[in-house]
Structure 1
Amino acid sequence: MNDSRDHDKRIATMTFASVYPMYIQKVEKKGRSKEELHEVITWLTGFDDKKLKELVSKKVTFAEFFEQASINRHANLITGVICGYRVEEIKNPLTQQVRYLDKLVDELAKGKKMEKILRSA
């Protein structure tokens, strides 16, 4: 139980700016674009490119990042395993939101079609 709280705290205090370049690298290495990555992030968070750039430059934590986000109402349709965790079973809301983003980036990098990534009811 303690490990889970430590993990959640570590995720909350990690800066989005420290992970963002890795997201770009991951998708571009697999032939996808930064624009497609931004489309995925916008779908999940509601952030436009200007806001995303601002949050990266301010080096906000994931906690601050998701506090400002308007999570897509279909985000609960994101399921599956990422980083060894089944996203739909994660209890901590912030950790779940970060893993949603990780899952979407992973699907983009794996070549999944955008209409499948950007879920709808």
Structure 2
Amino acid sequence: MIKYTGCAALLFPLTACTSQQLYRDEIYLQNSCATPLTLKVSHFSNWGPAVGDYVTPVGARQIIGSYISYEKESVVRIADDYELLINTTHGSKVIHAPALRTALEGKTPVRQGDVSSWTIADGSFCPTAQQGNQ
């Protein structure tokens, strides 16, 4: 009997930690450029890796960041080494963490249940032939 009580006492904190509420913050890029975008994201998430390159047609929306936290109030925790490489037939552009944070400043997320999402829908992330890497 004592063995079972000891096991239960050891396992209780483990179950208490896993039952804590998780919230997800997602960042999307709406392709408002004139051509399809090829996106490659590094350090996209604090819970899992990004899978490969994404081709995003004109007008389509693609996730470019996904983060989980235990806090209900959404404060996106973009990794300092975050990098988004955007390629088109007209050029390429690199977006680093500070530029992504700036693009999200002042935007209110759309909340659905435990998920908060932001969409960058302006042309600020569109590469041009003159821009090159930024």
Instruction: Give the structure with the larger strand fraction.
Output: 2
Q: Under a length normalisation based on structure 1, what TM-score does the superposition of the two structures give? A: 0.30
TM-score by length of structure 2 reads 0.28
Q: Return the structure number with greater helix share.
A: 1
Q: Which has the higher contact order (CA 8 A, sep 6+)?
A: 1
